[in-house]
Amino acid sequence: MTRNEFFGAHDPRQLEIWQKATIGIAGAGGLGSNIAIALTRAGIGRLIIADFDLVSPSNLNRQQYFMDQIGEPKVEALRHNLERISPYTRIDIYQDKIDPSNLSLIYSDAQIMLEAFDLADQKAMLLEAWTAKYPERHLIAASGLAGVGSGENIKIEHYGKLHIIGDGISELSPGISPVSARVAIVAAMQANLCLELLLKESQ
């Protein structure tokens, strides 16, 4: 398989921009695993992915892992899955809990950061730390994605270099489950905005 065969009808100028890009993904759960697959298929040249967790049975209802990967570190399982999809994305992984002290050690090369954490306090930590460290770099975060339906309420809010995708409301609670389809919608919107920003900034 050649590069041209893999990317088929991709516009060569756009593909070159994506192939040269390095993107950070913070978290490899429902958002992160879906984002990584979308960006790998699109042809991003290098992904930096960090997550401390292991694959557990309840991850399989919405995260891009397989039954035989239960117990493996998520970042290792995800890299393996991505390498099965494409040889045209370099995958750098860190099995680590991200905090302000290791953020720049892990993600210094990331042109754009995609926030893919589960807990709100972790999201807030990343937004504060990234904005303080790299005010000139985009950060695409997610907030409000639990449950089913209300696809029309999922929107993008732009605050300068900070972009937040979600409905801004839906939180896990009785009757509101974490469901694969809606998580994947938000993850795909994060990846989509990332690809768009790379093209815009290269003009």
26 and 32 Cβ atoms separated by less than 8 Å: yes
Tell the smallest beta-carbon distance from residue 16 to another protein (Å).
Answer: 31
Give me 120's structure tokens: 């709100």
Residue 52 burial by Cβ neighbours in a 10 Å radius (0-12, 13-18, 19+) = middle
Can you read off the two tokens belonging to residue 35? Answer: 């984002």
| Single-letter amino acid code for the residue at 80 | H
Of 86 and 170, CB closest to another protein: 170
- Residue 95 amino acid letter: Q
Binders of another protein in range 113-172 (CB under 8 A)? 116-121, 123-124, 127-128, 131-132, 141-146, 157, 159-160, 162, 164, 166, 168-172
Q: Which is nearer to another protein, 32 or 43 (CB)?
A: 32
Q: Which of 23, 25, 112, 183 binds another protein (CB under 8 A)?
A: 183
Quickly count: other Cβ atoms within 10 Å of residue 22's Cβ: 17
Q: Where in 23-62 is the site for another protein (CB under 8 A)? A: 27, 29-32
Of 4 and 104, which has the nearer Cβ to another protein? 104
DSSP assignment of 69-92: GTTSBHHHHHHHHHHHH-SSSEEE
Query: Minimum CB separation from another protein for residue 10, in Å?
Result: 29
Report how far residue 96's alpha carbon sits from residue 34's, in angstroms, rounded to the nearest whole number.
19
Q: Is 110 in the site for another protein (CB under 8 A)?
A: no
Residues forming the site for another protein (CB under 8 A) = 27, 29-32, 116-121, 123-124, 127-128, 131-132, 141-146, 157, 159-160, 162, 164, 166, 168-172, 178, 183
